[in-house]
Structure 1
Amino acid sequence: MKMKQIVIVGAGVSGLVAALNCEAAGYNPILIDADKKIGGRTQSNEYENFILDKGFQVLLTEYESVKKYLDLKSLHLKYFRPGAFVFSEKKDYEISDPFREWWKLPEMIFSGIGTVKDKWLIFRLSQHLKNKKEATIFNGSKQTTLEFLREYGFSERIIDLFFRPFFSGIFLEDRLETPATMFKFVFGKFSKGSAAIPENGIQEIPNQLFKKLKNTTLLLNKKVTHIDENELTIEDGEVIAFDKLILATDHRLIAGNITEEIKYNHSIQYYFKTDRPLLGKKIGLIADNEAGMLGIAAIGELKGVKNPKNGYLLSITLKAETINDQVAAYKMIDDVRKYFKVPELPLTFLGLNYIRRALPVCADLYYNRPLSDFVHNEHIFLAGDYLLNPSLDAAMRSGEMAVEALLCQKS
């Protein structure tokens, strides 16, 4: 006998994957979200013919769950070239991957961004990690990324000029305190696959997942304020009963929940348009501890501009503690002009996003964990990347594992 009703709270990637797995098991779930559209942290908005993602996000094509749940071809991905431009106070550098762009090998060997030993260590590490099984990477080690890099033998120069600015933009913290297991996981995926963004914005990822759903009822603009054992309450007073519930959002909604609040790294995203290509489809890294910026991405250049008169979109990621207002944006214009050495570079401010809960800070990182860890009680189950590791892959996997846990206890 089937359950009467499964409700999923949270229509981000975790909730959408949970809904897909519920349907695959024969159920017709209700999917609820407080927002006016699906996607959670993977959303985009349109402004002046530009698509502005909610924060700078890239899709790593080698994530196993990405390959399982997404049709990458239909996303019309636009790929970043491997490597980056590094802007530092004394000198600028271009980093390339000579194993994908062989003609860049002499330039990389003799560039001053690090020693020859550093470059050998990068090659050795990438070859070691790119085919390493995920379960062996997430081994419970508490070592930080910075501690690992130093122990591995990298110089302080390559750490400060490459690893710190590059992974600060991914982890949204510039001390490299993120566990080394996460660094190894992400570095391996970058080494093996590609980084890309959908042509029509990161929103296309949840949109594609949603289009696969056939028997799910979607309720938007429904802010859940309270969850009891078999019913939840919406902000307007509406009560919805359920047999089983998957919570793919803030776990503090559960009545009587005494679990510690999940900590998050925050980020600020500014958007500008300019009149020219600047980065050659690479990411720009800011190797300056005093700077408020973490990185620059030439999104318009990456996607290809059909009408150059409309301008090229620049996305700039800032540290969370940086002042996030329009005045700061105009001050930032001078810094961008300095980095690109174009004093008269035209830059028009388009908007900003302050992402308060951009990336969970996980005390312990997992790739797999017991299904019992996704169970709050016999009626309520948990999903979200905070249960595994801060990645799109983990968001998808957690939605899948929450449904597995539910099905194991459905009787």
Structure 2
Amino acid sequence: MLEPAYQADVVVVGAGVAGLSAAHRLTSAGVTTMVLEAAHGVGGRMATEKIDGFRLDRVGQLLSTAYPELRLTPGLGRLALRPFAPGVLLHGDGRHHRAGVQPGAGGARGALHAVRALASAPRSPSAPRLPRAPRKPAAVPGRQVSVPRSRSGAPLGTPVDQARLGAALTRLAGTPAERLLARPELPAGEALAARGLPARTIDGFLRPLLAALLCDPGLTTSSRCADLALRAFASGRLCVPEGGADALPEHLARMLPAGTVHTGVRVTSVSTTSVTTAEHGEIRCRAVLVATDARAAAELLPGLRVPDFHPVTVVHHTTDEPPGTGASLLLDADLGGPVAHTAVVSRVDPTRAPAGRTLVSSTVLGRPPGDVDTAVRMHLARLYGVSTARWETLAVHHTPEAVPAMRPPHDLRRPVRLLAGLYVCGDHRDTSTVQGALHSGHRASAAILADLGAGRSMHVADPLPTVPRAA
């Protein structure tokens, strides 16, 4: 139980990754911190449902090993990340094509070798072949399909087009973020046309890739945010936390001092010196950090702008016969159905499915079709080249306000300090990614420490009172 007389230096409202990362930096600086969460668990939208030994993400945003905050945030040093196979797997014209920069390929020259190897790899209309490494194409197991032979290099274009794409991604990986943020800002879809790449490469690779990275099928996102997403893709590997999306916030919560996080506590109002809760009345403090989602933050902080949101639907299936795409992230270059991206997630992270079972997770962006499971099954049958009639549906998770929209003009560094003593953070203050949420928590904690004064002694919190047990 909490008592109204209890005091702390900082009260953090919300136990998502932004609030938890800020709490880590505050406690590491000697600031006594309380984290209050209305739900009965931490993580917010980074939630994972457990069903019969399966771990099913509700939103399942893609992470990148290139995210700086995954290395810089205290408490995340031991977080296990499971990477997808390098690049992505594209399904176009009835076949699979590997695309993307492979880390360690030796810079621009390595990227050119990789795309040239892809272009020269033997193709069969009945058995798709994928290069696992430059100059070493390898077969992809799975049901054979009979399709018309497509143009060489589809959907990436000609070998020259592929070389240009590889070189462009390699240059992007080495471009400082500050230079990307100084570029003219347009909607991402419009900006792609001005990049000097052929329309086939843009439509067959960059559009489906950016839609997956940004959760934005219309590519209305700021081109600066899109460039940052492509930069992370080109310089790292797409990945997921081992054990489910909630492993990240739960790991952060476990690494905080005991008694820091309190769940099931609903905050009804905030000021610069206190918060009021529905369960425990007023809690006095020296500063308040609102670290909830954008809509909940606006309810506590009138006047805070609520952005539009991108809805996300995740459909989870299991099958006894896993598709033969390995640990790849599979995109539809033809945009021939509702699925934006899909993966045999149990191949990426075996802890997400019981032994001997396969977990296939597929993401639908935007407004889902009426019978979403039937539409997704039909699309997956084409993407994987296998029958999905006997696949078992484990869950369908629809989140209407999954990802804040980042339409231009978009300020990637929205203020986190509202008043001395009142602060806000979350992915709606930065980029709408896990990296953005973590970084906004970093900025907010730095502002709080600066305002509290690094040289001033911090409040020493009394232990929480215990409730006597009945005899």
Scaled by the length of structure 2, the TM-score of the pair is: 0.78
Is the Cα contact below 8 Å between 1:271 and 1:350 reproduced in 2?
A: yes
Give the count of matched residue pairs: 402
Secondary structure, in 3 states, of the residue corresponding to 1:62? coil
Question: Does the 8 Å CA contact 2:57/2:244 hold for their aligned counterparts?
Answer: yes
Shift of 1:232: 2.7
1:108 equivalent to 2:119? Answer yes
Residue 217 of structure 1: aligned partner: 260
Per-residue deviation at 1:366? 5.2
Q: Which residue does 1:91 correspond to in 2?
A: 94
1:339 is matched with 383
Matches of 2:90 and 2:363, distance apart in 1? 15
Instruction: Pick the aligned partner of 1:6 from 6, 10, 15.
Output: 10
What amino acid does structure 1 have at the position aligned with 2:192? L
Q: Does 1:81 align with 2:85?
A: yes
Q: Which is richer in helix?
A: 1
Give 1:298's match in structure 2, choosing from 340, 344, 351.
Answer: 344
Q: Could you say which residue in structure 2 is the equivalent of 1:271?
A: 316
Quote the residue 1:375 is aligned against. 417
Residue 401 in 1 paired to residue 443 in 2?
yes
Rounded Cα–Cα distance in structure 2 between residues aligned with 1:232 and 1:287: 50
Within the candidate set 217, 230, 242, 2:285 is matched to 242
Larger mean Cα displacement after TM superposition, 127-136 or 305-314: 305-314
- 2:161 aligned with 1:118: yes
**Cα separation, 2, equivalents of 1:384 and 1:212:** 20
Aligned residues of 1:226 and 1:233 also touching (Cα < 8 A):
yes
Taking a change above 3 Å as real, the CA distance of residues 307 and 328 of structure 1, as seen in their structure-2 partners, is: closer
Percent of pairs identical after alignment? 21
Aligned counterpart in structure 1 of residue 192 of structure 2, from 149, 172, 178: 149
C-alpha change, 1:287 and 1:103, in structure 2 (3 Å) is closer
User: C-alpha displacement at 1:384, in angstroms?
Assistant: 1.1
2:212 equivalent to 1:169: yes
2:364 to 309, 318, 338: 318
Residue in 1 that maps onto 2:300:
254
Partner residue, 2:59: 55
Is the CA contact (8 Å cut-off) linking 1:275 and 1:308 kept in structure 2? no
User: Which residue is equivalent to 1:39?
Assistant: 43
**Post-superposition offset of 1:237:** 7.0
TM-score, normalised with respect to structure 1: 0.88
Larger Rg: 2
Q: Distance in 2 between matches of 1:268 and 1:36?
A: 23
- Structure 2, unaligned stretches of length 5 or more? 1-6, 106-112, 121-151, 454-471
Quick check: 1:182 aligned with 2:225?
Answer: yes
Could you tell me which runs of 5 or more consecutive residues in structure 1 were left unpaired when the two chains were aligned. none
Amino acid of the structure 2 residue aligned with 1:122 = L
Distance 1:344 1:357 in 2: 29
Residue pair 1:138, 1:365 contacting (<8 A) in 2 also: no
Q: CA deviation at 1:288?
A: 4.1
Answer yes or no: is 1:284 the counterpart of 2:330: yes
Report deviation, 1:243. 2.3
State the shift of 1:244 in Å.
0.8
Structure 1: which amino acid aligns with 2:380?
V
